[in-house]
């Protein structure tokens, strides 16, 4: 937040991106695919963190923004035969419009009421997907056919089902969103968002229209989550209603809490950590969720601000 050490912060973020790039050539196939998926979901977590971490608004309905991107892009390819870039943008637009509408309604409430209202809207969205099963595939979901998942540039084309292309596309989206969130939280607008989180009444008395600022944050957050959903549909080829269920509203909250709310890299760390704990423990026992739960409890006990949040508090105050 302070004006100090911008160079350090940007160097760290570019370093993380470079590391992820190099990992593409080092990881075995299985982890290569897993990391591509984690990067896309980390974008979802970053979008969630924008609203939860920086503005302090706890939504329990962000699955609807992810699903808006997922279905917006997926159904555009399946039913309308849109090209990949167009469908991707279409998915993002669905999320942005939905976030604007939900924001206008839900921001009339605060605190617990905001959590409940967002959760109810997400539930409505989920049930609508099931209701319009003719187009959405209902609870079976739909597969985005492989031939449609190709990026064409004139004569050359990139097949998004190719693991390396998929990994690099995921990395490109992740890097873009990471740098955009870094720029936003370091900007004057970011400072206003944190001020709203800390004391909304005081922020109003400094002449800020806090409603508009919060609404903009909901739209930015929803748009980023939709970008993640759209990328998921196009890269992994599956559009399913489980992604709109309440579980996918809670997951980004957990990822962000684990990694560290209001840290730019926390969402990646949280998503990575959760996936790997599940991956490793499920290899040993079918009761892996028990171990995941214990790990979560330990983290909350010893790192109440999440992994990166605690590191920032104890050692690296300059972390954005």
Partner 1 sequence: MMPLLTTKGLSRNFGGLRAVDGVDFELMPGEIRAVIGPNGAGKTTFVSLVSGRIQPSSGMIIFDGADITSEPAYIRVRQGIAYTFQITSVFANLSAYDNVALPVQRTLSDGRSKGAVRAGVMSALERTGLADRADMPAGQLSYGHQRLLEVAMGLALKPRLLILDEPTQGLADSEIDNFIELVREIAKNATVLLIEHNMPVVMQLADRITVFNAGRILAEGTPEAIRENAAVQEAYLGTAP
* Contact residues for partner 1, defined by CB under 8 A: 1-4, 188, 191-192, 194-195, 198-199, 201-210
DSSP secondary structure code for residue 315 in this structure: T
| Least distance from partner 1 to the Cβ atom of residue 201, Å | 8
Given the complex with partner 1, which of 28 and 188 has the nearer CB atom? 188
| Least distance from partner 1 to the Cβ atom of residue 299, Å | 22
3-class SS at 4? coil
Q: How far is CA 216 from CA 101, 103, 104, 206, 219, in A?
A: 11, 9, 10, 18, 5
| Least distance from partner 1 to the Cβ atom of residue 257, Å | 18
| Least distance from partner 1 to the Cβ atom of residue 205, Å | 5
Given the complex with partner 1, which of 208 and 275 has the nearer CB atom? 208
Torsions phi, psi of 107, nearest 5?
A: -75, -5
Given the complex with partner 1, which of 32 and 204 has the nearer CB atom? 204
Given the complex with partner 1, which of 2 and 285 has the nearer CB atom? 2
Diameter of the chain measured on Cα atoms: 58
Residue environment code for 17-34, b if the CB has 16+ CB neighbours within 10 A, otherwise e:
beebeeebeeeeeeebeb
3-class SS at 312? helix
Cα(194)–Cα(15) distance, integer angstroms: 26
Given the complex with partner 1, which of 202 and 314 has the nearer CB atom? 202
Residue 153 bridge partners (DSSP):
156
| Least distance from partner 1 to the Cβ atom of residue 81, Å | 44
């Amino acid at each position: 937040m302070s004006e100090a050490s911008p160079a350090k912060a940007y160097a760290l973020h570019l370093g993380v991106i470079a590391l992820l790039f190099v990992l593409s050539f080092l990881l075995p196939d299985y982890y290569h695919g897993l990391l591509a998926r984690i990067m896309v979901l980390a974008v979802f977590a970053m979008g969630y963190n924008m609203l939860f971490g920086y503005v302090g608004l706890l939504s329990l309905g962000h699955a609807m923004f992810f699903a808006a991107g997922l279905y917006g892009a997926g159904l555009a390819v399946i039913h309308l035969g849109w090209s990949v870039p167009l469908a991707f943008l279409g998915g993002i637009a669905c999320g942005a419009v939905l976030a604007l509408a939900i924001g206008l309604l839900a921001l009339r409430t605060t605190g617990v009421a905001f959590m409940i209202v967002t959760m109810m809207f997400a539930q409505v969205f989920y049930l609508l997907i099931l209701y319009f099963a003719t187009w959405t595939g209902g609870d079976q979901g739909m597969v985005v056919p492989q031939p449609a998942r190709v990026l064409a540039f004139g004569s050359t084309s990139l097949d998004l089902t190719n693991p390396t292309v998929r990994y690099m596309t995921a990395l490109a989206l992740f890097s873009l969103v990471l740098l955009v969130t870094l720029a936003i939280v370091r900007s004057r607008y970011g400072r206003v968002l944190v001020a709203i989180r800390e004391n909304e009444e005081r922020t109003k008395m400094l002449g800020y229209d806090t409603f508009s600022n919060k609404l903009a944050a909901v739209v930015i957050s929803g748009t980023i989550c939709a970008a993640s959903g759209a990328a998921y549909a196009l890269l992994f080829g599956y559009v399913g209603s489980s992604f709109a269920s309440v579980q996918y509203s809670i997951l980004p909250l957990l990822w962000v809490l684990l990694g560290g709310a209001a840290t730019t890299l926390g969402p990646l760390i949280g998503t990575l950590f959760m996936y790997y704990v599940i991956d490793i423990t499920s290899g040993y026992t079918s009761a892996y969720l028990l171990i995941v739960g214990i790990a979560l409890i330990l983290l909350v006990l010893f790192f109440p601000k999440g992994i990166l949040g605690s590191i920032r508090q104890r050692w690296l105050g300059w972390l954005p």
